[in-house]
A and B are shown apart, each in its own frame.
Chain A
């Protein structure tokens, strides 16, 4: 158990809908990262937050947005969902916001868009 929690574990929804994925980092960790893993793809970095502020952005679609709250939990919002958004979404946390620190991954949320 990494100490990172993600809810829900599974989500099935229809195209065009909007969903929110939730992540609570390990106690004491200030940085949260979101990753997407689609079929046959490696882990793709989406976005990073550090202590409530956006720190880095990767291949995140405009239909997706995220935020980190004062209690350091984070939410990833996915809207106007398409079939291709079906994937495993991971949240990870680290003590600080730089690449010198290992990341601790949550169990993931599997999103299925039908």
Chain B
């Protein structure tokens, strides 16, 4: 089992705030890093798959960066909206097969 750490565990921001969270993973034998968004009572939904050091991906107001040499990825949300409230999961694989998930960062955005 590979240790994937996410911080903070939870976050509460006001509508319009920008925020970011961190995913830390083993820096050796990197294969891919995934980000998923998981809303309450739904199933996880893929945001990004990142494979190269220095990768930056963007989807609307959400973006992510990747540093494989030091073993971390940041997820940024610009101008948070209440509909962004969800748990954000990152998952790492060094084999190309099994994904090792972190416990997630739970984001609450209030109007």
Contact = CB atoms under 8 A, between A and B. Distances in A.
B100 interface: yes
Interface residues of B, number: 25
Nearest to A106: B43
Contacts of A103: 34, 46, 99
Interface in B8-62: 31-32, 34, 36, 42-46, 49, 51
Contact of B46 (A33, A90, A102): A102
- Main DSSP-derived SS at the A contact region: loop
Interface string B63-92: 000000000000000000000000001010
Given A45-B99, A97-B97, A103-B34, 9 more contacts: A42-B89, A45-B98, A56-B98, A58-B98, A99-B93, A100-B51, A101-B49, A106-B43, A107-B43
Interface of B: 1, 31-32, 34, 36, 42-46, 49, 51, 89, 91, 93, 95-104
7 contacts: A41-B103, A42-B104, A43-B101, A99-B93, A102-B49, A103-B46, A105-B43
